[in-house]
Amino acid sequence: MTSHIEVYAGTAGHSAWFSNDLGQTWVHPNSHSGMYLEARVWTISSHPADPNRLYAGTDMGVFRWDEHTTRWTHLPSPMQDVWALTQDPDQPEVLYAGTRPAAFYRSRDAGQTWEPLEAPGIQTFSPINMGPTRVTQILFDPHNHDTVWAMVEIGGAYRSLDRGNTWTLQTEGLLSGDMHGVAVVHDASGQKIVYVTTNRGLHRSLNNGETWEFQPLDSPWQYTRAIVTRADRDDIMFLTNGNGPPGNTGRLLRSRDYGASWKPVDLPGVLNSTPWCVATHPHDPLVLFVVTNLGQLFRSTDGGDSWIRLPHEFGEVRALHWRPTDYPTDRPAHSITVRPAV
């Protein structure tokens, strides 16, 4: 099913990297492309209805990549350190952003202007880690687009039932407010299950986040980071698990029963840190990418049954994303403004 896709990696200090050959080789757009070469890229977002644009949240605010001009454009905003971005599933021009210190923002015009969103009780400084809190993920409920989730590290799980207009803090039953990822599934009986990941483990809710229960993993560690469903089905889920941030080892877990049980997936070689990101896309749900926090990259083309380790190794990676693009496949990817990977 795959025609032409591009893979993107956001790094903590070496900007964003691009691959147009399923991650085999990578290029680094240079400073003439519009983004500072040493930017920290925390998050990447795209929308199937707008294939020529890509958004990145960085330590310098929000940038937009335009496929036809192969340039980054900085989008002025009241935000600086943007850790989470997502787009309304039904309106690609409506963007939601989360920052460090933790705050929520929305743009209704593709990032040209932004409005703050009130989140009662949101903490901007954590006495636990003696630093600012940050929004690690914003997710639309795939089954009900009026519901939006936002994870705050360290500050708890927020839920909106009206597309981000109002928010409530949903923490009852959580062992920790150090939130990382969120996923929403409907099981075979139609039961809605919300999963969140924390530094102290996986939690789930059967009542849309009103209460949470800890779900222990059969693993040497309970630290969890990313949780995603495979793009074509709710029963297959992936969870990243390791011995801390960044840690020095970890594992990728897979569930085939809507998250009720988890088993390790064989990633080749010795992992150098906790797996951090899983990238999937409905264009081809069998194509998956995983990256560790310290930059080891893996690919599956059979839906997660088997994996290969890709040759390039980054430094610290914080975002991983892929999407189909519509530019001619015989054009070298961003050949005008790239610095080859070394």
User: What span, in angstroms and rounded, lies between the C-alpha atoms of 87 and 45?
Assistant: 7
Prediction pTM value:
0.94
Task: Judge whether residue 241 has pLDDT over 50.
Answer: yes
Question: What is the average pLDDT across 311-320?
Answer: 96
pLDDT at 327: 56
- Cβ contacts of 332 within 8 Å, gap of 6 or more: none
What SS3 class is residue 31?
helix
Least confident residue range of 63-77, 270-284, 302-316: 63-77
Is 179 in contact with 198 (CB distance < 8 Å)?
A: yes
Residue with tokens 């990259």: 297
Task: Judge whether residue 17 has pLDDT over 90.
Answer: yes
**Strand ordering across the sheet containing 308-309:** 275-279, 288-292, 297-300, 308-309
Task: Judge whether residue 244 has pLDDT over 60.
Answer: yes
User: What span, in angstroms and rounded, lies between the C-alpha atoms of 192 and 142?
Assistant: 11
Q: pLDDT class for 126, splitting at 50, 70, 90?
A: confident
Q: pLDDT class for 247, splitting at 50, 70, 90?
A: very high
Cα–Cα–Cα angle for 261, 265, 269, nearest 5°?
A: 150
E-strand stretches of 212-328: 213-215, 223-230, 233-242, 250-255, 263-265, 275-279, 288-292, 297-300, 308-309, 317-324
pLDDT tens per residue across span 178-213: 999 999 999 999 999 999 999 999 999 999 999 999
User: What span, in angstroms and rounded, lies between the C-alpha atoms of 286 and 123?
Assistant: 39
